[in-house]
Structure 1
């Protein structure tokens, strides 16, 4: 699940323009999914891309979730897919690793396929998947999703278990990609319709995964975060995006238990779409109704100027 609140009951460019080139006219931006195999997704300079054969598939919604298995059906022909996912929902756990208690792995059958259910979080699934289930062999690719709900903005990337699985894999030097499907707030109970949308999203996710396996990640990109609009179909355009800062305005809800003692819900109000800047993931998804593809780097530090360094040195030594 994404950084998603539910009512408590308990640099812009299309795939074929993601380069440091002169800005194209707006009408030329975006590309149909029908052409995805004929376009250059990122820079023309790629890391060495060996033939990818071993794929580790995970999520944060739980090993039995529909989005995981429709994605499995789309990528199973691309290599040897091993499914390792949490035994139950681990939404918004971020890259939390379990050190304070023992973890367990259960080998189970779902839809006639072998899967491994882990009693931990998505990042735990990556570690156990590699060092125990795959006996130390790193997969050629880690795929996470399809998540029920979008993972848009920096706010979501740092909290999402779905994205965290891709991040943890990237830290290990494994190419990875996370897929999420936006579900409007008023559509969460429409389970049949959500499944239909998942099927459409999975078809596109399969094609993007195939592209990644053939090309490898571009230089400077450690993993990719993909978000599908609820209105997804084969004609939906693609936008290469940066991250918006936050999707929600946070606040705390206070309640009282029968003894009068306070307890709290962390909550958030969706920001108006007018607050999202063009070129960001939120703008592409919510305003333009496009597929947002965000190339991500693990290094979030920035280079400080020499003037700033000297100022800090003088202040410390004074």
Structure 2
């Protein structure tokens, strides 16, 4: 697929986990499609929130061409991670300079959200494929109450200007050494002049709960949910968005290993003794 008309312009791939009808997707496509970069999208056919890094191995994937907000791209019958993999390895005719995922309906602050989020997973899959990437999400509530449609659309329009600028910066400069992707979260409304905080993920954002109920036939079923905590530590992403009303930019690294951690030598010796015991 040829994506864009500008000879020699860099290509940005947009994905998400909310599907093709998302107002955050449309706002981001419109903000990026200003002639400075070529833009395309590959998104799941429907909402895939909290799908994480799931990949589809047990059935074939389908892809359909579609146009959204004047941009041509694809809708795929898989997960956000599937979308990025198909784009990089099959559907696109060149490697994107950046992958921009979002703008998600709801913030993805905190490790509990980051590890579960399909929005972050699309950016993570891009990073694993060697493409600098960013995940963009926006809080859509005020005092625990969902924002109205008009306020939400205005919020996405504001946030998309910052998301597009961050994406162009990545195309121009790449990401700093040791940073593989950015997790960017916006408040519902961005104050002017905007405050941007460089943050770390808060570890716990929710108090998890599982509710058990009975269906009409007497069999149990379960709802998994979480009540959002408050009082987040200064310097964290949730603190920036919920307490400060700021834009949170969290640099992330895909290398999770920590082999030099204190105490690991003792475990290594213990495991090596198992092998010697067999002899």
For normalisation by structure 2, the TM-score amounts to 0.89
2:40/2:71 contact within 8 Å kept: no
1:304 aligns with 2:264: no
1:282 aligns with 2:199: no
Cα-Cα RMSD: 1.7
Map of 1:90 onto structure 2: 48
Shift of 1:251: 0.9
Map of 1:66 onto structure 2: 23
- In the alignment, which of 128, 144, 157 is matched to residue 171 of structure 1? 128
Q: Structure 1 235/54 Cα, relative in aligned 2: closer, same or farther at 3 Å?
A: same
Map of 1:292 onto structure 2: 248
Q: Structure 1 52/179 Cα, relative in aligned 2: closer, same or farther at 3 Å?
A: farther
Q: Matched residues in 2 for 1:279 and 1:112: separation?
A: 39
Q: Matched residues in 1 for 2:98 and 2:53: separation?
A: 18
Map of 1:140 onto structure 2: 97
Q: Matched residues in 2 for 1:131 and 1:62: separation?
A: 21
2:102/2:136 contact within 8 Å kept: yes
Shift of 1:141: 0.8
Q: Structure 1 83/91 Cα, relative in aligned 2: closer, same or farther at 3 Å?
A: same
Map of 1:182 onto structure 2: 139
Shift of 1:254: 1.0
Map of 1:253 onto structure 2: 211
Map of 1:238 onto structure 2: 196
Q: How many residues align?
A: 264
For structure 2, the residue ranges without an aligned partner over 5 or more in a row are 1-7, 275-279
Matches within 5 A, 1:8-157: 53-76=10-33, 77-135=35-93, 137-157=94-114
Map of 1:36 onto structure 2: none
2:42/2:74 contact within 8 Å kept: yes
- Partner SS for 2:83: helix
Shift of 1:105: 0.4
For structure 1, the residue ranges without an aligned partner over 5 or more in a row are 1-50
Matches within 5 A, 1:211-222: 211-222=169-180
**Larger relative contact order (CA 8 Å, sep ≥ 6):** 1
For normalisation by structure 1, the TM-score amounts to 0.79
Q: Structure 1 309/264 Cα, relative in aligned 2: closer, same or farther at 3 Å?
A: closer
1:225/1:294 contact within 8 Å kept: yes
Map of 1:191 onto structure 2: 149
